[in-house]
Chains A and B, each alone.
Chain A
Amino acid sequence: MAKPSRMKPPMGHDNGWWWQQAADGKLAIQRCASCQTLRHPPRPMCSECRSMDWDFIESCGRGTVTSYTVLHHPQFPGYDYPLIIVLVDLEEGTRLTAQLQDCDSEDVEFGMAVESYIHQDADGFKIPMFRPATEGADNAN
């Protein structure tokens, strides 16, 4: 039997497009087409100007860890534990919740520089994740 896969995010009008961008290899950030305000998680209306018109930009993927937790229990099928979840402040100014890979759970820390990539599961599902920023990356901000 194949290894169990992660729980798939339920997708509707307001979020399905973001996952489609991830499937196409992009970390998207929703943008108000009227006042240009970026927002995440995506919503149907701009909370600043109430415009319902929006597009999106592709994030540069660079950011810093503003909080994190390491999940040990309970353990769900489809995930590897300990499981590091980070809150990342992206350079563009929005914040994203995602998994941190390629990092020992004892090495994750507040303020650490991370970069995003699109992870692909064995069943083909694609999902944005982070890993520690590589040496020499531009994290001047």
Chain B
Amino acid sequence: MPISLKNEAAIAGIGSTEFSKNSGVSELSLACQAINHCLNDAGLAPSEVDGLVTYTLDSTDEIEVARAMGMGDLTLFAKINYGGGAAVGLIQQAAMAVATGAAKNVVVWRAMNGRSGKRMGQGVSGDILSSDIIHWSWYMAYGMLTPVSWVAMIANAYMHKYGVTVEHLAEVAMAQRDFALNNPAAAGYGKPLTLDGYMNARMVCEPLRLYDCCQETDGGCALLITSTERARDLKQKPAVIRGVTQASSRGQEQMTSFYRDDLQSLPEMELAARRVYKMSGLGPQDIDATCLYDAFTPEVIMQLESFSFCGRGEAKDFVADGNLRRDGQLPNNTHGGLLSEAYIHGVNNIAEGARLIRGSSCNQPEGVEHVLISSGVGVPTGALILGRD
């Protein structure tokens, strides 16, 4: 009998560093700070942690964290691939470990000097010959080197087919910026964004302008996953994992799935949707808020269709009606998201999902029972549904 991950594990701790443009410390230091805050939040000693999971892109190895923090025996350590596509994959690893007994208390994290150090927006290079680099070779020679350029290609096709305008993109950016105005930790705190401000900002890769793009951030974010039963004995209200999955589909490339017949949808995200809805027994009508991965604004609009909050081509009207705002049908990224809080590769979006379940968001909507969170868009990805205990 296979083990279902539904209700087996919960997010029991959340920790972040300050988010900045220049941390002045190492990424290992950021990781340790974030994990320390996370364990203090939960009320768990580092010696109790026996599992550590991060991104392949993270420069900090598990045992470096363990030594620095005085952790002891580890029985699970893993790194998940594909940039921000890893985000909820970390949660899946942790939940599987907890459900099977591979580990009891798993910390997942991402820590990066994403502005002062290696900037994602500065593009790929061809230093090491791998299957991944051969994939990038088809774009590098043409100068198509940055995430925004790859996303723009899909976004333009989607917008052309369904009549999505820059005003729709702007609404995503402005709605999330408005949330950030109530979040002192956010890059967008104290910086309102108007339609004029959006339109007058620099064009980056048509049709995407500056405010269609996420932040670049120095910072770290960590989460503690343990069994739902153990979580009840810790300090915080558990955010119970109702469903979690990774998802990659036929013809999948990393950011450049340009060779599928249909460029106007996200088949891997539709797979993630089917899986988390089935595992949780929930549907789109049961979701009260979302943290949809938002490295770029059109990704949010497309995902509304992937997760069946809207029919094909209808997401633009859903967005224009203000549904992503606090009083809308589906408040989205109530902390500001990657666009307006910080770009910690999606782990900060999962943290907000857990806060929404605790009832402690800086923009807490009424009566949140279930929150849906997604990993990176256009890459092998995943989805997560959290619920109240």
Contact = CB atoms under 8 A, between A and B. Distances in A.
Given A7-B145, A72-B204, 6 more contacts: A8-B141, A14-B134, A41-B135, A66-B157, A67-B263, A94-B259
A97 interface: yes
Given A7-B126, A10-B133, A110-B160, A72 B205 contact: yes
B45 interface: no
A72 B144 CA distance: 11
B362 interface: no
**For chain A, which range describes its interface: under 10, 10 to 19, 20 to 34, or 35 or more residues?**
20 to 34
B252 to A, nearest CB: 12
A78 interface: yes
Interface in A55-82: 66-74, 76, 78-79
Interface of B: 121-123, 125-126, 129, 131, 133-146, 149, 152-154, 156-157, 160, 202-207, 256, 258-259, 263
A97 B258 contact: yes
B259 A85 contact: no
Nearest to B154: A67
Contacts of A76: 123, 143, 145
A99 interface: yes
B153 A87 contact: yes
A37 B273 CA distance: 32
A31 interface: no
A99 B198 CA distance: 28
Contact of B259 (A40, A98, A105): A40
A77 B143 CA distance: 9
Contacts of A74: 121-123, 146
11 contacts: A7-B125, A8-B126, A10-B140, A71-B143, A71-B205, A72-B202, A72-B206, A76-B145, A95-B258, A98-B142, A105-B206
Contacts of A23: none
Nearest to B213: A73
A78 B123 CA distance: 15
Nearest to B202: A73
A12 interface: yes
A70 B138 contact: no
A124 to B, nearest CB: 14
B141 A6 contact: yes
Contacts of B157: 66-67, 87, 110
B143 A73 contact: no
